[in-house]
Amino acid sequence: MSKQFKSVQETLEKYIPAEELSEVKRILYGYNRGQHVKSIPICQEALDLANKNNFEIVASKVEAEPEQLRKPRIVRLGIIQNSIGAETTAPVQDQYLAIEAKIEKMIDAAGAMGVNVLCLQETWHMPFAFCTRERYPWVEFAESATTGQSIKFIQRMARKYNMVIISPMLERDEVHAGTIHNTAVVVGNNGNIIGKSRKNHIPRTGDFNESTYYMESTLGHPVFETIYGKIGINICYGRHHNLNWLAYGLNGAEIVFNPSATVGELSEPMWGVEARNAAMTNNYFVGSINRVGTEYFPNEFTSGNGKPAHKDFGHFYGSSYFSSPDNCCTPSLSRVSDGLNISEVDLNLCQQVKDKWNFQMTGRYELYAKFLEDYIKPNYQPNIIRDPSMK
Amino acid sequence: MSKQFKSVQETLEKYIPAEELSEVKRILYGYNRGQHVKSIPICQEALDLANKNNFEIVASKVEAEPEQLRKPRIVRLGIIQNSIGAETTAPVQDQYLAIEAKIEKMIDAAGAMGVNVLCLQETWHMPFAFCTRERYPWVEFAESATTGQSIKFIQRMARKYNMVIISPMLERDEVHAGTIHNTAVVVGNNGNIIGKSRKNHIPRTGDFNESTYYMESTLGHPVFETIYGKIGINICYGRHHNLNWLAYGLNGAEIVFNPSATVGELSEPMWGVEARNAAMTNNYFVGSINRVGTEYFPNEFTSGNGKPAHKDFGHFYGSSYFSSPDNCCTPSLSRVSDGLNISEVDLNLCQQVKDKWNFQMTGRYELYAKFLEDYIKPNYQPNIIRDPSMK
């Protein structure tokens, strides 16, 4: 076993005999509808790109039932996880270009595979330097969501492959006093900028010192209607907030991406749970994306956990995967390497599962609107019934 | 392999070598804090009861960090899963007594093990006959939540073992025109009735024809403060509703039980996801309870799925387990046998995890109160940003 464990699914398949493996995968990953989750072949061009540039490709498809009045709405979704491309001591522009060079090859592979909608990882164009609490040079990675070099690059790739691309990035909002935001820009298949979404929930835990760099979004829960379906973006820590997932769903999202940056010790057992719960209970597809590798910074920092100062955030464990609105999930990328995960889905499955389970019809949203209205009042009295025999 | 597969965890432990198994369990079950999840010994008296009466006992503990100002608040939680005790063609009273006899032995074992808070499965005193849509004899199982024979039995057992017992039952509310409810009665350790909670979300899916028997609760999300901690009860289908879990949490629950009745084909891949997500994101313990076995009814019924009429609901897969507020879960009971699952927990962990992750502080409930207030209006306009280049 290497220093970093590679993948749970690979381990299960290596050791467990076929008949029992089928039960294990049914229960853990929802493969009870075997006919509905299949591998799809990876074309030679994509394989060559992957081999030459050291990234992994995983590809699967999730089917839906045929309907009488609607045709299948088949789209290929792609998610990319990557490590940084240069040392964090390199000049900012060199660091950016090194990542861009990696991403370009992976988007080329996605293009070769006919991916229609692609999402990159959180602030893909920079190291996740927010652990340091240092301002410079890290805030120099921030750039305009409409004219920055990273968005120009994404627009070029979107046009090249007729692809919708979501670009999660560190935004400098020049119109609003140069404030910084954790943003996802949605680029249409013509290379046009459709709009942007921002991170709704900013962590205050572990080394996630992001609240010293940017604030909570005031843009709400926009859903972007593209030629390939309706898309929401729940950035990183928002995956711990069920209301955040819910709001994208009630606004009509069929696909919600969760571009993230998270490390093993803190969150790994949550990674396979929260996004799947969101997909199951809101009935949309989720693409969960985590960066990969360990990033070392020039100056040491502490983590508020009593441990000595150090220069890294820990291992970003990758493991990017898709969850389906029924209850399946696709195989993940590994915990250790750059990769492109592709899932061909039929968006009709979203409404089919809603019609099967009726969660939205039984949701009692009036009750909860009232509950939250009461809860936020300073004098809220929780509904506690105390055992009267207690002293 | 028997006709019914027994347990995922058992299979993993049987085949996967130790070093890799440790990584698999860390990622799947949150055993990364190995010092915090341990087995605890099962006493001879409980073992004898289990062997003699054919049920399984699983016991574990979840620890918390020591604090300076609060002592640990150690409680032993118990959950019981059981099959019915007699054929569904037997007289109603005989069916009840056969189940009571089983449950009594299991509560005796819980008592021998020093369980402080115990929860039984949904409508534990009857078969889950709601699939049939027949009224009689099934509604004859309904009884008063204060004077019915099942609650008298539970009160006696609570007094005997100084135990808080939650009794999920089919309630006949004589005060309100004899209406029927899916209820959980909370019995204090003195045998006193502290109060009751009712099912907030009633399914309309598969053979869950419960909405023809009872309606949604109007009691809100009460949390019962007992000498062993603050308890909420999220009955069955309410586990698919994240707002339901949230409301119990915001009302202060430290333990939420989810007494359920659910079958393999429909929900099994969701079973290990939804409750854990609730525990992780709301930071309380969850006890997930599912009945076990296949129940055959005298008259055939159909399932609205195009398949022939039949007499059973499918296999209730048991698998009752606990989720912890950090991100661990305990071993489950099996998919095939009656059982008692015990977890000794330190309730201080709830606040400790809240303080670590800050989900409640970053929850932005004002935003969501406003969102839901808008959403429930008939003329709600979802926040959709359409690609203007689409025709």
The model's pLDDT over B155-190, given as tens digits with 9 standing for 90+, comes to 999 999 999 999 999 999 999 999 999 999 999 999
B288 pLDDT above the threshold of 90: yes
Both B44 and B177 in a single domain? Answer: yes
Is B225–A201 a contact, with Cβ atoms under 8 angstroms apart?
A: no
Tell me what pLDDT residue A1 has. Answer: 38
The number of angstroms, rounded, from the C-alpha of A25 to the middle of its chain's C-alpha atoms is: 23
The residue written with tokens 């009571």 in the block is B100
Low-confidence ranges of chain A (pLDDT < 50): 1-2
Interface of A with B in 184-203 (CB under 8 A): 186, 188, 190, 192, 194-195, 200-203
Both B14 and B147 in a single domain? Answer: no
Let me know if B199 is a catalytic residue: yes
B2 pLDDT above the threshold of 50: no
Of the residues B209, B277, B288, the best mutation for testing chain A's interface (the one with the most A CB atoms within 10 Å of its CB) is: B277
Tell me what pLDDT residue B32 has. Answer: 60
Task: Give exposure, B276-311, as e/b (b: 16+ Cβ within 10 Å).
Answer: bbbbbbbbbbbbbbbbbbebebeeebeeeeeeeeee
Both A46 and A112 in a single domain? Answer: yes
Tell me what pLDDT residue A265 has. Answer: 74
Both B295 and B326 in a single domain? Answer: yes
Both A20 and A42 in a single domain? Answer: no
On whether residue B390 sits in a domain, the answer given is: no
On whether residue B199 sits in a domain, the answer given is: yes
Contact status, residue A200 vs residue A258, Cβ threshold 8 Å? no
Both A199 and A258 in a single domain? Answer: yes
pLDDT in tens, A82-107: 999 999 999 999 999 999 999 999 99
Let me know if B236 is a catalytic residue: yes
Band of pLDDT at residue B296, cut at 50, 70 and 90: very high
Q: How many CB atoms lie within 10 A of CB A114?
A: 16
Write the CATH number for A236: 3.60.110.10
Q: How many CB atoms lie within 10 A of CB A87?
A: 14
Tell me what pLDDT residue B4 has. Answer: 84
Both B9 and B124 in a single domain? Answer: no
Tell me what pLDDT residue A4 has. Answer: 85
Q: How many domains does chain B have?
A: 2
Contact status, residue B362 vs residue A243, Cβ threshold 8 Å? no
Of the residues A372, A374, A380, A389, the best mutation for testing chain B's interface (the one with the most B CB atoms within 10 Å of its CB) is: A372
Choose the closest CB to B375 out of A250, A270, A383.
Answer: A250
Contact status, residue B222 vs residue B257, Cβ threshold 8 Å? no
**Distance from C-alpha of A302 to C-alpha of A385, rounded to nearest angstrom:** 44
Contact status, residue B319 vs residue B6, Cβ threshold 8 Å? no
CB contacts, 8 Å: B251 with chain A: 382-384
On whether residue B108 sits in a domain, the answer given is: yes
Domain containing B21 equals 1-32
**Distance from C-alpha of B9 to C-alpha of A287, rounded to nearest angstrom:** 27
Q: Does A355 touch chain B (CB under 8 A)?
A: no
Both A12 and A119 in a single domain? Answer: no
Q: What is the 3-state secondary structure (H, E, C) of chain A?
A: CCCCCCCHHHHHHHHCCHHHHHHHHHHHHCCCCHHHEEECCCCHHHHHHHHHHCCEEEEEEECCCCCCCCCCCEEEEEEEECCCCCCCCCCHHHHHHHHHHHHHHHHHHHHHCCCCEEECCCCCCCCCHHHCCCCCCHHHHCECCCCCHHHHHHHHHHHHHCCEEEEEEEEEEHHHCCEEEEEEEEECCCCCEEEEEECCCCCCECCECHHHCCCCCCCCCCEEEECCEEEEECCHHHHHCHHHHHHHHHCCCCEEEEEECCEHHHHHHHHHHHHHHHHHHHCCEEEEEECEEEEEEEEEECCCCCCCCEEEEEEEECCCEEECCCCCECCCCCCCCCEEEEEEEECHHHHHHHHHHCCCCCCCHHHHHHHHHHHCCCCCCCCEEECCCCC
Both B165 and B309 in a single domain? Answer: yes
**Better pLDDT: A375 or B3:** A375
Say which of A143, A199, A295, A344 is annotated catalytic: A199
Half-sphere exposure of B332 (CA within 13 A, CB side): 25
CB contacts, 8 Å: A187 with chain B: none
Q: How many CB atoms lie within 10 A of CB A304?
A: 10
Contact status, residue A311 vs residue A298, Cβ threshold 8 Å? yes
On whether residue A313 sits in a domain, the answer given is: yes
For residue A357, the chain B residue with the least C-alpha distance is B205
Strands A193-198 and B179-187 come out as unpaired
| Tokens matching residue A180 | 């910084």
Which amino acid is located at A302 in the chain?
Answer: T
Band of pLDDT at residue B33, cut at 50, 70 and 90: low
On whether residue A391 sits in a domain, the answer given is: no
Both B24 and B63 in a single domain? Answer: no
Task: Give exposure, B313-346, as e/b (b: 16+ Cβ within 10 Å).
Answer: bbbbbbbbbbbbbbbbbbbbbbbbbbbbbbbbbb
**Distance from C-alpha of B271 to C-alpha of B264, rounded to nearest angstrom:** 9
**Better pLDDT: B38 or A204:** A204
For residue B366, the chain A residue with the least C-alpha distance is A376
Q: How many CB atoms lie within 10 A of CB B79?
A: 30
The residue written with tokens 């593209």 in the block is A226
Nearest CA to CA, how far is A225 from chain B (Å)? 5
Half-sphere exposure of B383 (CA within 13 A, CB side): 19
For residue B361, the chain A residue with the least C-alpha distance is A204
Choose the closest CB to A247 out of B250, B270, B371.
Answer: B371
Across the range B46-70, mean pLDDT stands at 97
For residue A377, the chain B residue with the least C-alpha distance is B366
Both A109 and A24 in a single domain? Answer: no
**Distance from C-alpha of B160 to C-alpha of B179, rounded to nearest angstrom:** 32
ipTM value: 0.96
Choose the closest CB to B216 out of A242, A252, A364.
Answer: A364
Q: How many CB atoms lie within 10 A of CB A89?
A: 11
Tell me what pLDDT residue B37 has. Answer: 74
Is A387–B204 a contact, with Cβ atoms under 8 angstroms apart?
A: no
**Distance from C-alpha of B387 to C-alpha of A195, rounded to nearest angstrom:** 8
Interface of A with B in 327-346 (CB under 8 A): 327-328
On whether residue B27 sits in a domain, the answer given is: yes
CB contacts, 8 Å: B36 with chain A: none
Is B223–A383 a contact, with Cβ atoms under 8 angstroms apart?
A: yes
Is B389–A356 a contact, with Cβ atoms under 8 angstroms apart?
A: no
Is B362–A192 a contact, with Cβ atoms under 8 angstroms apart?
A: no
Q: Does A221 touch chain B (CB under 8 A)?
A: yes
CB contacts, 8 Å: A203 with chain B: 358, 362
Interface of B with A in 365-384 (CB under 8 A): 365-369, 371-373, 375-376, 382-384
Tell me what pLDDT residue B266 has. Answer: 80
**Distance from C-alpha of B207 to C-alpha of B210, rounded to nearest angstrom:** 9
CB contacts, 8 Å: B24 with chain A: 8, 11-12
C-alpha closest to that of A286 among A237, A249, A335: A249
CB contacts, 8 Å: B225 with chain A: 384-387, 390
pLDDT in tens, A123-181: 999 999 999 999 999 999 999 999 999 999 999 999 999 999 999 999 999 999 999 99
On the question of a cis peptide bond just before residue A388, with omega within 30 degrees of 0, the verdict is: no
Contact status, residue B342 vs residue B59, Cβ threshold 8 Å? yes
Q: Does A13 touch chain B (CB under 8 A)?
A: no
Choose the closest CB to A243 out of B26, B240, B368.
Answer: B368
Interface of A with B in 241-260 (CB under 8 A): 241-243, 245-247, 250-252
Nearest CA to CA, how far is B242 from chain A (Å)? 6
Tell me what pLDDT residue B30 has. Answer: 85
Both B129 and B219 in a single domain? Answer: yes
C-alpha closest to that of B214 among B263, B142, B303: B142
Contact status, residue B339 vs residue B316, Cβ threshold 8 Å? no
On whether residue A279 sits in a domain, the answer given is: yes
Let me know if B354 is a catalytic residue: no
